[in-house]
Structure 1
C-alpha cells in the first residue's frame, strides 16, 4: 500500500508544482495578446499611412477607376511587409540586448503621458512634417500594382516616427517567453490590424458607389482616424507599467 501511495503522492505534488507556472504563463500570454490587439487597433486609427492611401487612391481614381482595387491592395501588401520587417528587426534587437526593455518601458510611459496631456490640452508642441511633401511626390509614382507595392513598403518606413512607441512596446513584449509560432502569430495579428484600414479604404473607393453602407463606413473611419491619441496614451502607459511589473 505504501509503495503504491508514494508514486501517487509524487505525481500529485508534480501536478501542483506545474499548475502554478502554467497558470501564470497562460495569464501572461492572455495579457500580452490583449495588449497586442489593443495597440494594433489604436495603431490602425493613426492618420499617417491612412491619409496617404486616400491621397493615392483619389489620384488613381481620377485616371482609371479600374486600377483602384489592384493599386490599393498592392499598397496595403507593401505596407504589411514593410511593417513586418520593421517589427522583426526590432524583436531581434530586443532579443540581443535585453536591457533595452527598460528603455522601452520608460519611452512608452513618457510618450503615453505626453499623448494624454496633449489630448487634454495641458501640453502643446507644434511639430512640422518635412516628409509630407516628399511623401506625396513618392505616392505620385505609384501608378501600377508593382510600384504601389514598393511605395507601400517605403511609406511604412517613412511613417515609423508615428508608430514607433507601439512597435517598440509590442516587439519587446514578444521578444522573450514565447515560442516562435506564438510570436509570429501575435506579430502577424498586430501588423494585420494596423494595416486593415488600408484594405477597407480600398474597398470603399472601389465599391463605395455601388454599396452606400461601405462608403459610409469608410467615411466614418476617416473621421475616427487620428482621434485616438488619448486612448493610445492611456494604453501605452498601462501596458508599459504592467510590463515593468513583470520584468
Structure 2
C-alpha cells in the first residue's frame, strides 16, 4: 500500500474514529470465507462460536491474509503512526467470531477496549436489513496509550464488567450517550484504534448469522506479565464460551 493511502487511513482513524477500505476482498475471496464459516457454523449447530487462531483459521483465507507481507506491513505502518514507534512484536492475533441463533444476544453491547492498538475488522456475514444487524458501536479514541500497564488493567476492570455495560447500554437507549454506529458491509475492512476505543456490537437478529474476522496488532504493553495473564484468561474464556454456545465479554 502506498504512503498516501496509509496516511489517509491513519488520519481517518485518528480524526473520524475509523477508516474503511471498501471492497478489500474480491467476490471470490468473500465467497470462500462464507463457505468456511458456513461449514464451521454447521458444526456448532446454530450456537455462537469463536476461534482464536488455530487450524480453523490458518487453513482458511484468513491464515493466508494474516501471512501476507503487504497486509502485515500495512498494520505495522498504521501502528507506528498511532504509537510513534514500532510495535514490540509483529505477531497478528487472528480471531473468527460467529453469532448465530439466540446464544449471542445475551452478550451483545459488551463494551470493551482491545489489548492491541490496531484493530482490523473484516465482516464476512452481516445482516444488511432490519433493526438488529449487529452494528458496531464506537466511542472512538477516548483514552491515550497508558504508560503503566496497571492503569490499563484498572480502566478495563472498571468498564468491562456487567454493571458498567448495563449502565452504558441504558445511557445509549435514553440518548445520554451517542456512540458512532457503523453498519458493516461484508468484504470491507474497517480499522480503528481498538486499545483507545470503547466498542461493542449491537444485538443481531437470531434468524441471521453475523460472522467477523478480527486482526489484532500491536499490544502497547506486550511482554508484561499482566498482559500475558490477561491474554491467557481471555483465550480460556473464549474456549469455554464456544463450548457452551455463548459469547465471551472480552
Q: TM (normalized to structure 2)?
A: 0.28
**Which structure has the greater CA radius of gyration?**
1
Task: Name the structure, 1 or 2, with higher relative contact order (CA <8 Å, separation 6+).
Answer: 1
More strand by proportion, 1 or 2? Answer: 2
Q: TM (normalized to structure 1)?
A: 0.28
More helix by proportion, 1 or 2? Answer: 1
